[in-house]
Amino acid sequence: MTGDIPGIDAARENVAALHAELVRYGLIVWTGGNVSGRVPGEDLFVIKPSGVSYDDLTPENMILCDLDGNVVPGSSGSERAPSSDTAAHAYVYRHMPDVGGVVHTHSTYAVAWAARGEEIPCVITAMADEFGGPIPVGPFAIIGDDSIGKGIVDTLTGHRSRGVLMQNHGPFTIGATAKDAVKAAVMLEDVARTVHIAAQAGPLLPIPQSAIDSLYHRYQNVYGQASDERR
């Protein structure tokens, strides 16, 4: 019984609450976008239901899925359809075992870069800190099966970035936790906006790769308090 599995209730509460951050930072409109979180130690994750208002999201209506994207029968919320991006999230969890959270948004500036099929170049230190280089572009893929998930995994495997711009669609971010993935989504839109504005004013100035490497190492391993999450 899923009710006997530790961590499910905590995952539901965490993922439900994190959706409010997408609203807070203006990363979504209407019911678009989603956050999912892996249940620690289990081949399960929770994700929002499809087409439900963010105001109506609760821990109880977060949907529990296995790593094939199937809704777990009899679990809380199982009478609802899961997010249309569930197959993509499931593919990421199956193929990237260190990923604990996945986020998708339709944030304006990131989608604008995706519409051009253009990676965001690493020209500001905040990008070097958070993403360790440019934000890459993944292939065009149709929603509904795991094609998007495959594109995410293929693009981010071996890449330091925790975000990808799926061509003609929008950004997906990953993280060690769902909160980590949400932070990456917030930061991705922030740098997408800044670099877009800078490009309108004139040529962008590249940061040397050695400096990018140094900034990334400092931020990921030194910045912040030792007792806190680094990211």
- Is 104 noted as a catalytic residue in this protein? yes
Q: How many structural domains are present in the chain?
A: 1
- Is 159 noted as a catalytic residue in this protein? no
- Is 169 noted as a catalytic residue in this protein? yes
Closest-CA residue to 104 (of 195, 27, 14): 27
Instruction: Write down the pLDDT at residue 4.
Output: 66
- Is 25 noted as a catalytic residue in this protein? no
Instruction: Write down the pLDDT at residue 2.
Output: 67
Asked if 163 and 122 count as a contact pair (C-beta separation under 8 A), the reply is: no
Determine, yes or no, domain membership for 230: no
Query: Could you give the count of Cα atoms lying within 13 Å of 33 in the half-sphere of its Cβ?
Result: 32
- Helices within the chain (DSSP H only): 8-24, 86-95, 108-116, 125-131, 147-156, 178-201, 209-221
Q: Of 54, 66, 95, 106, which is the active-site residue? A: 106
CA distances from 163 to 2, 37, 137 (A): 31, 16, 9
Instruction: Write down the pLDDT at residue 3.
Output: 61
Domain with 25 in it: 2-221
CA distances from 109 to 5, 75, 113, 147, 207 (A): 40, 37, 6, 23, 21
* pTM attached to this predicted model: 0.94
Q: Of 19, 91, 104, 180, which is the active-site residue? A: 104
Q: How confident is the model at residue 192 (pLDDT cuts 50, 70, 90)?
A: very high
Q: What CATH number corresponds to the domain at position 176?
A: 3.40.225.10
Q: Can you tell me which residue has the tokens 């199956």?
A: 94
Determine, yes or no, domain membership for 128: yes
User: pLDDT digit string (tens) for 62-101?
Assistant: 999 999 999 999 999 899 999 999 999 999 999 999 999 9
- Is 223 noted as a catalytic residue in this protein? yes
Mean pLDDT confidence for 6-21: 96
